[in-house]
Structure 1
Amino acid sequence: MSEEILVNVTPRETRVAVIENGMLQELHIERGWRRGVVGNIYKGKVQRVMPGMQAAFVEVGLDRAAFLHANDIVRSSPGAVVEGEEAPLPTPPAAPIMDLLRDGQDIVVQVVKDPIGSKGARLTTQISIPSRYLVLLPQSKVIGVSARIEDEAERHRLKQVVTELAGLHGGHGYIIRTNAEGQPAEALAEDIAYLSRVWNVVERRGRESPSCSILYEDLSLPLRAVRDLIRKDVEKVKVDSKETHERLQAFVAKYMPVLAERIELYSGERPIFDLYGVEDEIGRALDKQVPLKSGGYLVIDQTEAMTTVDVNTGSFLGQRNLEETVYRTNLEAAQAVARQLRLRNLGGIIIIDFIDMDDPEHRRQVLRTLEKSLAKDHAKTTVYEFSPLGLVEMTRKRTVESLARQLSEPCPECSGRGSIKTTETVTYEIFREITRAVRQFEAARLLVIASPKVVARITDEESTAVAELEEFLGKSIRFQADEQYLQEQFDVVLL
Structure 2
Amino acid sequence: MKWEMTFLNKFIITRQHYVGDSYFTALLDEKDKFREIAFHPLSEENQVVPGIICIARVKKIAANLDAAFVDIAKGVTCYLETAHIKDAWFSKQCRSGKLTEGDELVVQITKEAIKTKYPIADTKISLTGKYFVLTNEKRPLAISSKLSADEKERLSSQVQLFEQMRLFEKEAVTDTKQNAGQEEKRKPHSLIVRTNAAGASPEELETEYRKLLSDYQKLAATFHFRTCYSILMLPKKFYENAINHLYQEELGEIITDDKNIYEELQQLYAGNPDILSKIRFYENDAISLGTLYSFETQIQRAISERVWMKSGAYLIIQPTEALTVIDVNSGKNTSGKNAEEYYYKINLEAAAEISRQLRLRNISGIVIVDFINMAKEEQRKELMHQFRLSLKEDPVPVRLVDITKLGLVELTRKKERKTLLEQVAQLR
Report the TM-score, using the length of structure 1 for normalisation: 0.74
> Which structure would you say has the larger RCO, counting Cα contacts within 8 Å and 6 or more residues apart?
2
1:66 counterpart (73, 78, 83): 78
Aligned to 2:248, what secondary structure does the other structure show? coil
| Shift of residue 75, structure 1, vs aligned partner | 7.2
- Asked whether 1:149 is paired with 2:147, we answer yes
Equivalent residues of 1:169, 1:192 under 8 A apart: no
Equivalent residues of 1:166, 1:173 under 8 A apart: no
Counterparts of 1:159-178 in structure 2 under 5 Å? Answer: 159-169=156-166, 172-178=189-195
Which residue of the partner structure matches residue 438 of structure 1?
none
Aligned to 2:375, what secondary structure does the other structure show? coil
Counterparts of 1:335-414 in structure 2 under 5 Å? Answer: 335-408=352-425
| Shift of residue 279, structure 1, vs aligned partner | 2.4
1:265 counterpart (281, 286, 290): 281
| Shift of residue 154, structure 1, vs aligned partner | 2.2
| Shift of residue 352, structure 1, vs aligned partner | 0.7
Deviations 1:292-329 (A, max 9, x none): 22111111111111111111111123564221222122
Which residue of the partner structure matches residue 466 of structure 1?
none
1:102 counterpart (100, 103, 112): 100
Residue identity opposite 1:14 in structure 2 = Y
| Shift of residue 230, structure 1, vs aligned partner | 5.5
Counterparts of 1:20-59 in structure 2 under 5 Å? Answer: 20=29, 21-33=31-43, 37-59=49-71
Aligned to 2:192, what secondary structure does the other structure show? strand
| Shift of residue 384, structure 1, vs aligned partner | 1.2
| Shift of residue 410, structure 1, vs aligned partner | 12
| Shift of residue 139, structure 1, vs aligned partner | 3.7
Which residue of the partner structure matches residue 118 of structure 1?
116
CA distance in 2, matches of 1:410, 1:69: 29
Deviations 1:338-370 (A, max 9, x none): 111111111011111111111111111221222
Equivalent residues of 1:38, 1:113 under 8 A apart: yes
Structure 1 pair 410–301 and aligned structure 2 pair: CA distance change class (3 A): farther
Equivalent residues of 1:169, 1:193 under 8 A apart: no
Counterparts of 1:178-257 in structure 2 under 5 Å? Answer: 178-229=195-246, 231-254=248-271, 256-257=272-273
Equivalent residues of 2:55, 2:106 under 8 A apart: yes
Equivalent residues of 2:48, 2:109 under 8 A apart: no
Counterparts of 1:458-469 in structure 2 under 5 Å? Answer: none
Which residue of the partner structure matches residue 418 of structure 1?
none
- Asked whether 1:284 is paired with 2:305, we answer no
CA distance in 2, matches of 1:99, 1:119: 29
In the comparison of the two structures, how many residue pairs are matched? 389
CA distance in 2, matches of 1:282, 1:107: 41
Residue identity opposite 1:159 in structure 2 = S
CA distance in 1, matches of 2:247, 2:145: 18
Q: Based on CA coordinates, which of the two structures has the bigger radius of gyration?
A: 1
Aligned to 1:71, what secondary structure does the other structure show? coil
Aligned to 1:100, what secondary structure does the other structure show? coil
Structure 2 gaps, min length 5: 1-6, 89-94, 168-187
CA distance in 2, matches of 1:36, 1:178: 28
Structure 1 gaps, min length 5: 77-96, 412-495
The more displaced of 43-52 and 212-221 is: 212-221
Equivalent residues of 1:143, 1:163 under 8 A apart: no
Identity of counterpart residues, as a percentage? 29
Structure 1 pair 67–167 and aligned structure 2 pair: CA distance change class (3 A): farther
Deviations 1:84-142 (A, max 9, x none): xxxxxxxxxxxxx9963100100111122221111111222121111121111234352
CA distance in 1, matches of 2:16, 2:38: 14
Residue identity opposite 1:163 in structure 2 = Q
CA distance in 2, matches of 1:321, 1:36: 55
Equivalent residues of 1:238, 1:263 under 8 A apart: yes
Structure 1 pair 167–118 and aligned structure 2 pair: CA distance change class (3 A): farther
Residue identity opposite 2:152 in structure 1 = R
| Shift of residue 250, structure 1, vs aligned partner | 0.6
The more displaced of 5-14 and 387-396 is: 5-14
Equivalent residues of 1:64, 1:120 under 8 A apart: no
